């Protein structure tokens, strides 16, 4: 049986990576093998692209459409090298950001046409679409507060997207909510303002509810 494909989406600091890893542990406890991966990145080529996108590694910021296409290139590589082969083997894939990030950030955030992005996404994913997308929703200010704590703890600095102004991130958050409204079958909204353990319980209940037959 094909594995399930679950994506986590949401604004900055919404706890996607932590929750993805908690979900994988929970699945393992039920005897379900699942792999974690992320976008941009997740393959050798994808991680190179991630560096270019986040830290101007090429020495200049990509133009808007170039930025979008770099995300799409990383995505297609990840699909063909990691996501599709695992799903075909029956392994579940938990992906930290996926195609909806492009609609939210490059579409609603930067202002590129969302319907054109959706068409490009369809081309890129080549029929590999998530069975379930968990939107970890959180107020922008709360997300940035968490990020600031992470910087202090790990000594990291803000990347190119985190440096965008507040209104950009407000558009991204609102955009995500619009995407969820357009596709209620695939999306579930999770309140990410809760404590991590409570968020994990909401996620587990949702996964059980939506893909119950497989657990």
84 binds ligand TMP (CB under 6 A): no
Tokens of 34: 């699942």
The phi, psi pair for 114, rounded to 5°, reads -65, -35
Q: Minimum CB separation from ligand TMP for residue 30, in Å? A: 27
CA–CA dist 50, 53 (Å, integer): 5
Q: Minimum CB separation from ligand TMP for residue 188, in Å? A: 19
Contact 177, 104 (CB under 8 A): no
SS3 (DSSP) at 138: coil
Q: Minimum CB separation from ligand TMP for residue 124, in Å? A: 10
Contact 137, 199 (CB under 8 A): no
The phi, psi pair for 75, rounded to 5°, reads -65, -45
CA–CA dist 169, 3 (Å, integer): 33
- Binders of ligand TMP among residues 85 to 104 (CB under 6 A) are 97, 101-102
Binding string, residues 10-49; x marks residues near ligand TMP by CB under 6 A: --x-------------------------xxx---------
From residue 46, give the alpha-carbon distance in Å to each of 36, 72, 165.
15, 10, 26
Give the number of residues in contact with ligand TMP, rule: CB under 6 A: 11
Q: Minimum CB separation from ligand TMP for residue 214, in Å? A: 26
188 binds ligand TMP (CB under 6 A): no
105 binds ligand TMP (CB under 6 A): yes
User: Is the CB of 43 or the CB of 106 nearer to ligand TMP?
Assistant: 106
Residues at the contact surface with ligand TMP, assessed by CB under 6 A: 12, 38-40, 71, 97, 101-102, 105-106, 161
């Amino acid at each position: 049986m094909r594995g399930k494909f679950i994506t986590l989406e949401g604004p900055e600091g919404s706890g996607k990576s932590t929750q993805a890893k908690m979900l994988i542990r929970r699945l393992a406890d039920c005897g379900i093998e699942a792999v974690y991966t992320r976008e941009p990145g997740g393959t050798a080529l994808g991680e190179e692209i991630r560096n270019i996108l986040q830290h101007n590694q090429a020495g200049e910021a990509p133009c808007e459409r170039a930025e979008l296409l770099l995300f799409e290139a990383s995505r297609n590589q990840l699909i063909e090298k990691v996501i599709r082969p695992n799903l075909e083997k029956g392994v579940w894939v938990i992906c930290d950001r996926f195609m909806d990030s492009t609609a939210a950030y490059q579409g609603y955030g930067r202002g590129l046409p969302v319907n054109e992005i959706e068409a490009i996404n369809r081309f890129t994913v080549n029929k590999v679409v998530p069975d379930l997308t968990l939107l970890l929703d959180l107020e922008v200010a709360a997300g940035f507060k968490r990020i600031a704590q992470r910087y202090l703890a790990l000594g990291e600095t803000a990347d190119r997207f985190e440096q965008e102004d507040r209104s950009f991130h407000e558009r991204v958050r609102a955009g995500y909510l619009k995407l969820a409204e357009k596709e209620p079958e695939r999306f579930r909204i999770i309140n990410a303002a809760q404590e991590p353990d409570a968020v994990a319980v909401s996620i587990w209940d949702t996964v059980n509810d939506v893909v119950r037959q497989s657990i």
